């Protein structure tokens, strides 16, 4: 069993339909799913953060990094 975890649930993540702590039977499927999640988050969230997948044992962790070139809309959901 492989786990997909989002390191930090930002405001945009909490408002999305994406689920944290998902379990997947196959390593390749887990990596594919984690990469697609990070891609969706990078493309649809407010751009205050960058998301990337890091493998750790049986986990695929979606790391959250602050985007220094952020163009946050200021709506309060970016914190």
The single residue listed with the structure tokens 């990469």 is 35
pLDDT by residue for the chain (79 residues), tens digit each?
999 999 999 899 999 999 999 999 999 999 999 999 999 999 999 989 999 999 999 999 999 998 876 555 555 555 4
- Tell whether pTM > 0.85: no
Alpha-carbon distances, residue 7 vs 2, 39, 56, 62, 71 (angstroms) = 15, 15, 12, 6, 22
| Residue 68, pLDDT score | 74
User: What is the domain partition of the chain in residue ranges?
Assistant: 2-66
| Residue 70, pLDDT score | 56
CA–CA dist 29, 48 (Å, integer): 28
| Residue 62, pLDDT score | 98
């Amino acid at each position: 069993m492989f786990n997909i975890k989002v390191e930090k649930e930002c405001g945009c993540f909490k408002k999305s339909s994406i689920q944290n702590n998902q379990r997947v039977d196959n390593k390749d499927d887990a990596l594919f799913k984690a990469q697609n999640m990070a891609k969706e988050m990078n493309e649809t969230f407010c751009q205050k953060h960058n998301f990337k997948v890091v493998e750790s044992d049986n986990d695929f962790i979606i790391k959250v990094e602050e985007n220094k070139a952020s163009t946050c809309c200021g709506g309060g959901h970016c914190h």
